[in-house]
Chain A
Amino acid sequence: MPEIEIPVGPQHPALKEPIRFVFRIDGEIVVGAEPRLGYAHRGIEKLGEHRSYVQVLYLSERICGICSVAHTTCYVETAERLFNIEIPPRAKFIRVIVSELNRIHSHLLWLGILAHEIGFDTLFMYTWRDRELVLDLLEMITGNRVLYAINMIGGVRHDITNEMVDKIRKVMDYLEERTKYYKRVVQEDPLMLARLSEVGILSRSDAQKLCAVGPTIRGSGVKTDIRKEDPYAAYDEIPFNIITYTEGDALAKTLVRVDEIQESINIIRYALDHMPSGNINIRVPLRPSPGEAIGRVEAPRGELFYYIRSDGSERPYRFKVRTPTLANIPALCKMLEGVYVADIPVVVASIDPCIACMDRVLLIDTNKGTWNILTGEELRRYSKKWYEKHKIR
């Protein structure tokens, strides 16, 4: 059989968000993969330059619906550096608790999607049912299920009361049991093993060379975690382990995430036990002094990076976000070489892609260094010419 090209996306049942891959396949084996990004570009960075610091907080929360806490935490940590303020210790602990609840919800959601990709819909339904409990907790604490709006520059908006602590503990006990069960399923179910082990292998050196982040690189045996390396919120006061597996395949990445749920449960318990009392937020000035700041946060998918530059006005002069999925795309293309067509969804899912997070890239013609605004008719003619030149039908 000759090589055929299979387009996957921008709309495809295996991808919940718009991204396009063209796979060159030989029989059932992928020979090459070519990604194309940018379908969900929303111009958020530019929008950020036209809004006040408080408004950008809400904008950043809307970059991603799943790791929304990671985005706001990263934004407020960066902004607090810019404003040069220290937040109350209780606020730091609340940030940790909400962040870890968010991580549990994200990992459970991801485990379900992975199960769906390999046709194991029963596990999909089970994990999503348990995830509901975490969403209920987050709703109890913040009042919202998806966009929590708990972080503010200078602290957090809602306190965790004693009744809430009891409820959180109860759910954590239940989730710990479930996590152990899921770990057993992943490690022992023969079909899970057959579909996940030795699939989409990313070697340790490749992972480092291609700058993978988060569970993707930890699954290749590299011990890195922003929570330990560059602690933010109260992570420097809380003991926890960095989970690594050395195999680098989809199974290792799955186990990293399942174990991280367990670590998150431990972190939440420790934080609940050691939460200091006091204020949860402080007042901040409207304008920061001119300067720039960066912030890094370990989002559920890996390292999240923010940069804000201030010119002394009430709006950021420049606002830049680098999300973990974008950092993992080169590693993903490497992982896709040589896998079976049937494994494409598993491998793509194994980096836990979040396309809407990622698509804020502006592509500029680097040869000419310019960009033109075309009318609709010009654009139509240009695309016709381009396709004729590239012979793509």
Chain B
Amino acid sequence: MSLLLEFLKIAIYPGVLFIIVFSLFLEWLDRKIYAHSQHRIGPLYIGPHGILQPFADILKLISKEDITPPHVDKSFFMLAPPVLLYLAILGMFMIPLGALGEPYALLSFEGDYLVVLTITTLITAFVFAGSWASFNRFSALGSIRALLLMVGYEVPLFLCAAAVALDAKTLCLSRIALIQSTSPWFIVMQPIGFIISLIALQAELERIPFDIPEAETEIVAGWLTEFSGKKLAMIRLAHDIELFLLASLIVTLYLGGPWGPMGPSALWFILKVIFVIFLSSILRALFARYRIEQAITFFWKYIIPLSLLQVFIALLIPLV
């Protein structure tokens, strides 16, 4: 019986099915907010207010012809999309979603924080592998840009992550969230880290102003150019889940995870994720696109010194 329960947890809630459905909902939300801030309407036809549009997009892509060009390096080209999807879902398993009032995530152990951060890096590595294997000029340029961009956002993201771990004195995400249920949220003590993480989220997910690796007006679809059909559907889904993953990482680190003053913890978690997505969508509507070297300069000139400052402050806080 308990085995069945465990299986249901992994397969349905808060496992795979919930993660996929909620990620698709977040994509709809993101598109809707982005559209409204541009005087547009956004998705409208499928479901109430177009809420099923992302689901329909995925279905459409699955039903399309899946082309593997003859010149690609088959192993990596075929491998990249499912691995991306797998990595994103695996990362979500370690986030405490507050499901059923449980304080711990599905996969929770001392050091899962490091695993999640590694997963965010691995995702970029597989993006590079998959697009380099496409042997396409636009993909090659896009993948080089993705790697270069990683040099920019990875360092500050990890520094801020270190700052939180220093103050929480644990490398377990669920415990970091638990600590914040009794003490003030980390956003109060580390506001710089929160802002830097938001910026890194834009870069990691290739959103404006850092949508450089897939800048459509410059290099067509960038690293996505050769992917189609089911593979593209998997990449799209993985991208949505990654959005969910990074937003929930920010919620766990800075906004107190699933813990709120009252009511069910799962609801609090969802509300906070929606808040982060809202901020991210507004950022997306506000800016133009950086050039790649401008983005790197921006990160190394301003963001990395700021995150070093954040680590320094985090070291001082326990002393006060």
Q: A residues touching B (Cβ–Cβ < 8 Å)? A: 4, 6, 12-14, 28, 115-123, 125-126, 129, 189, 191-192, 194-195, 340-345
Contact = CB atoms under 8 A, between A and B. Distances in A.
Nearest to A116: B217
Contact of A195 (B39, B208, B216, B288): B288
B289 A120 contact: yes
A13 B220 contact: yes
Contact of A119 (B38, B40, B208): B208
A342 B292 contact: yes
7 contacts: A14-B217, A117-B217, A118-B288, A125-B38, A191-B209, A194-B291, A195-B291
Contact of B292 (A13, A28, A122, A191): A28
B13 interface: no
A122 B285 contact: yes
B220 A12 contact: yes
A251 to B, nearest CB: 13
A118 B208 CA distance: 10
A182 to B, nearest CB: 14
B288 A119 contact: yes
A129 B38 CA distance: 10
A118 B290 CA distance: 8
Nearest to A340: B291
A298 to B, nearest CB: 29
Chain A facing B: main interface SS? helix
B215 interface: yes
Interface string B189-220: 00000000000000000001101100111111
Contacts of B37: 122
Nearest to A343: B291
Contact of B216 (A13, A115, A120, A194): A13
Nearest to A15: B217
A191 B137 contact: no
B305 to A, nearest CB: 18
B294 interface: yes
Nearest to B37: A122
A122 B283 CA distance: 11
Given A120-B287, A120-B288, A129 B294 contact: no
A123 B288 CA distance: 9
B301 to A, nearest CB: 13
A341 B288 contact: no
Contacts of B288: 115, 118-120, 123, 189, 191-192, 195
Interface centre among B208, B219, B220, B294 (most CB of A within 10 A): B219
B292 A119 contact: no
B293 interface: yes
Contact of A342 (B38, B137, B218): B218
Contacts of A344: 218
B38 A126 contact: yes
B299 to A, nearest CB: 14
Given A119-B215, A342-B218, A345-B217, A191 B287 contact: yes
Nearest to B291: A342
Contacts of B294: 194-195
Contacts of B212: 342
B79 interface: no
B44 interface: no
Interface string B94-113: 00000000000000000000
A121 B217 contact: no
Interface centre among B217, B219, B288, B292 (most CB of A within 10 A): B288
B141 interface: yes
Top 4 closest pairs, chain A to chain B, by CB: A119-B289, A120-B288, A125-B38, A14-B217
A345 B218 contact: yes
B147 interface: no
A116 B216 CA distance: 10
B17 to A, nearest CB: 33
B209 A125 contact: no
Interface string B270-309: 0000000000000001111111111000000000000000
B289 A195 contact: yes
A132 to B, nearest CB: 11
B39 A342 contact: no
B287 to A, nearest CB: 5
A341 B39 contact: no
A270 to B, nearest CB: 31
Given A28-B293, A194-B291, A342 B215 contact: yes
A115 B288 CA distance: 8
Given A12-B220, A118-B288, A122-B286, 19 more contacts: A6-B141, A14-B216, A14-B217, A14-B218, A118-B289, A119-B215, A119-B217, A119-B287, A119-B288, A120-B287, A121-B38, A125-B39, A126-B38, A191-B287, A191-B290, A194-B294, A341-B141, A343-B291, A344-B218
Nearest to A192: B288
Interface string B18-29: 000000000000
B229 to A, nearest CB: 20
A340 B294 CA distance: 11
Contact of B209 (A4, A28, A119, A129): A119
B224 to A, nearest CB: 13
B76 to A, nearest CB: 21
Given A6-B137, A129-B39, A341 B289 contact: no
Nearest to B215: A119
